[in-house]
Amino acid sequence: MAQALRALIAAALLAIALASPPAAAVAVGPRAPSWAELSPSDKEVLAPLAAEWDSLDAARRQKWIGIAKRYPKLGPAEQQRVQEQMGAWIRLTPDQRRQAREQYKSLKQLPPEKRQDVQQKWQEYQQLPPEKRRELSSRPPTTQQPPQEKRREPDSRSGAPPAAKP
């Protein structure tokens, strides 16, 4: 479970790292190429997706093609990271992918400073020794919820809500 959570986080962060204005540069159309129609360089980059490629919808194929087109411009370390995260993505179940997409959408809706804070925390997490990361990932996730306003109980004698205090 903890490994799946890490994979979800990694997939969401990959999406954040790679989702940028170049999305407009991706040719968006009603049809995306089948695996057989991809260029040899795109096939090489997208190799982890080969088995599922033809079952992906056109929009998803276009997004992956956009990543493949940007791939040669990345440094070797970034290329390796993309390949690793693509492999992690393909190992996710459809439900885990859906959760990762939802998490990505919620991160994209954060104000820039909050998004930057999340990225900073992720980078700090990545710098931790592997044993500390395993320890943290084995804990149940903590969610910070805003304090809830105390609800007034109905008047036990009449069942009516309590009168508002001036």
Query: What confidence tens digit (pLDDT) does each residue in 109-143 have?
Result: 999 898 888 889 888 888 888 888 888 877 776 65
List the chain pLDDT tens, one digit each, 166 residues: 656 556 556 555 555 555 544 444 444 455 789 999 999 999 999 999 999 999 988 998 999 999 999 999 999 999 999 999 998 988 999 999 999 999 989 988 999 898 888 889 888 888 888 888 888 877 776 655 544 544 455 444 545 455 544 4
Secondary structure, 3-state, 97-136: HHHHHHHHHHHHCCCHHHHHHHHHHHHHHHHCCHHHHHHH
Residue type at position 35: W
Measured CA to CA, the distance from residue 35 to residue 102 in angstroms comes to 27
Total length of the chain: 166
Q: How many CB atoms lie within 10 A of CB 70?
A: 17
Query: What confidence tens digit (pLDDT) does each residue in 20-30 have?
Result: 444 444 444 55
User: Is residue 5 exposed (0-12), middle (13-18) or buried (19+ Cβ within 10 Å)?
Assistant: middle
pTM recorded for the entire structure? 0.53
pLDDT at position 123: 87
> And the tokens for 72?
């040669």
CA dihedral 26, 103, 110, 85 (to 10 degrees): -50
Q: Give the closest residue to 13 by CA, choosing from 92, 119, 84, 102.
A: 119
Q: How do the domains of the chain map onto residue ranges?
A: 2-138
Measured CA to CA, the distance from residue 50 to residue 101 in angstroms comes to 21
Exposure on the CB side of residue 87, measured as CA atoms within 13 A: 5
